[in-house]
Amino acid sequence: MEKEEVKKKIYELVEKSTGKKKLKSSDIQKTVSADAGISRDEVKDALRDLVDEGKLIYTYFGGSFVEIPPQQ
């Protein structure tokens, strides 16, 4: 699976959970690697790219969570 497809799956997963449940990095890795049939390291790498691009951010509320940045 191409990295761009993995990034799209990650973003869609985070987008669907917005307002319902906060996802941890490990939750995302587990879910996407199971769905896409790829390693957790590949998912982690794609997640890191999304954070570096500013499409996703890490937040901290008693634990680290991945979220879509708030609109300005």
pLDDT for 1 equals: 81
Domain boundary assignment for the chain = 3-67
Mean pLDDT of the chain: 94
The dihedrals phi and psi of 22, each to the nearest 5 degrees, come to -85, 130
pLDDT one-digit tens code per residue, 22-41: 999 999 999 999 998 999 99
**Contact partners, residue 45, CB within 8 Å, separation at least 6:** 3
Q: Would you state the pLDDT for residue 10?
A: 96
Instruction: Give yes or no for a contact between 43 and 24, defined as CB atoms under 8 angstroms apart.
Output: no
Query: Does the pLDDT of residue 63 top 80, yes or no?
Result: yes
Is the per-residue pLDDT at 72 higher than 80?
Answer: no
CATH topology of domain 3-67: Arc Repressor Mutant, subunit A (1.10.10)
pLDDT at 71: 79
